[in-house]
Amino acid sequence: MKIALAQQNYHIGNFEQNTRKIISSIEKAKEAGADLVVFSELCICGYPPRDFLEFKDFINKCYEAIDKIKLYADGIGVIVGAPARNKIPEGKDLFNAAWLLHNKEVKGKAYKTLLPTYDVFDEYRYFEPAYDWHVIEFKGHKIALTICEDLWNLGDNPLYRICPMDQLITQGPDIMINISASPFDYDHDDDRKEIVRANVLKYKLPMIYCNAVGSQTEIVFDGGSVVFDSKGNLVEELKYFEEDFRIIDTNDLCNPAAPTHEDKVKFDKEMRVSKLKNPEAVIGYLTEESNIRQIHDALVLGVKDYFGKMGFTKAILGSSGGIDSAVTQVIASRALGPENVRSILMPSEFSSSHSVSDAEQLSKNLGNHYDIIPIKNIYDSFLFALKPLFMQLPFGLAEENIQSRTRGNLLMAIANKFGYILLNTSNKSELATGYGTLYGDMAGGLSVLGDVYKMQVYALANYINSDAEIIPQHIIEKAPSAELRPNQKDSDSLPDYEILDKVLYQYIEKRQGPKEIIEMGIDPALVTRILKLVNTNEYKRNQFCPIIRVSCKAFGVGRRVPIVGKYLS
């Protein structure tokens, strides 16, 4: 049997576009002589649809799309993902379903059993888990059809009490097919291949795994669909961060030659876990070239899809001559085209001369339009208006933040006037510690680097410059500074980023407590100070714009902690 994998980029709620894409690939699969074509989880409506699922009209449109698509399932089988109504009154009204269409009819459905409700996932809010399991017969083959999380309940500490494949394997399936919408983070593709392979080795069946690609607000889906034969060899791996299409002959999967060595990507989880318990190894891991390359590609796709799916074309950002704005500007230019990115340089009396020249050179290197708007007169007018209230108190945080909010106002004014979207340039280290000004440098419609630690920003800059100097080297080499007071450096307010990022990673991504982090050899007073900064600045992050997610624990919908709380604060 020939099976086509259609790895596609969908748009949530854009039923017309999604349907056209699916039909186009069905026709392509027919031309290639495929018996069956497989699409990804909830491809009909896009993933994650969230509270759209509560609207009857939204579900009706899903069914209407399936009715249209099934007319093209003539002589070919089609597996698509879409919500399915639950006919039993008890429980949730919907299932997350994989639909088999053939001969212009719905021939079968498989319901998702394991409904992730953690991090960015909230599926049990909407869906009822499957309560029975049946293989689906197609052209003399028995297919064990599962959906995304249904594969992930292996290991010593399973999250769920049941494995759907344990039920399906008793019915003698020939092949496993999994349709998925598995989000990207910079070590998840290896985990994903390992879990698919673990299922293959456990059940001794080949697997076809079709993943989504594209960005949906903050979540990036990286594609990377895979095919494993019954011996656990990786036979096919589709492109990452791009749409792709591939034809597989199952005859090559079910009786493979015995391998002389494991044909798979080398990935030792125990070594990785051990390494990340050592804080000295954290920065090296975070800045590994393979991780940085993937982060770069994910950010470019995140910006491109956010703008494209929202109907926007042009971006604006404040270009300070610092590394964060420089990397953001490059990412935006690669996502949208340099002609669609406008940088605004807003020097103050505390800005160094090279900050302006560095920012100018970057815009020239990229081919971006840029403008220079000095803020001294505006800043002075604020101070003049506030002088009676400030009562000659010494210069401090209020005066620093006035500069930042002045810049934010200017950027938003230009954005409103000309229809730009303001890109925020704050990094994860700053957001974690509250090192930013609400309604100032924290303003924006989309955060590009909000899930990227400062040391990763440096690694991204070096990666960008690997073939040619795009970001002026002086931007990379100079000490980071907000330049809001004379001779200011970030290190005046924060620990060195190399130390700070180690602690933040252990606390945010690894969920280690102060005791465990201190036991790694980090100064107790420093650990206490950093964790307090993180927890007391949740109110700032709660008002922040969407952040493109590239780690396993990003700020935003996937990290839910109280604003008013006493823990470690």
Active site residues: 41, 112, 148
Cα–Cα distance measured from residue 214 to residue 211, given in angstroms and rounded to the nearest whole number: 10
Alpha-helical (H) ranges within 32-146 are 56-70
Burial class of 363 by CB neighbour count within 10 A (0 to 12, 13 to 18, 19+): buried
Name the β-bridge partners of 371.
Answer: 344
Burial class of 418 by CB neighbour count within 10 A (0 to 12, 13 to 18, 19+): exposed
Read off the tokens for 507: 């606390």
Name the β-bridge partners of 77.
Answer: 36
Q: Please, are residues 278 and 520 in contact by the beta-carbon 8 Å criterion?
A: yes
Cα–Cα distance measured from residue 72 to residue 63, given in angstroms and rounded to the nearest whole number: 15
Cα–Cα distance measured from residue 3 to residue 210, given in angstroms and rounded to the nearest whole number: 11
Peptide bond into 48 cis (omega under 30): yes
Q: If you compute the radius of gyration of the chain from its CA atoms, what whole number of angstroms results?
A: 26
Q: From the CB of residue 164, how many other CB atoms can be counted at a distance below 10 Å?
A: 24
Cα–Cα distance measured from residue 381 to residue 319, given in angstroms and rounded to the nearest whole number: 23
β-strand 219-222 against 213-216: which pairing, if any?
Answer: antiparallel
Query: Which residues, 6 or more positions from 370, have their beta carbon under 8 angstroms from its beta carbon?
Result: 319, 342, 343, 344, 345, 359, 360, 363
Integer distance in angstroms from the first to the last C-alpha of the chain? 60
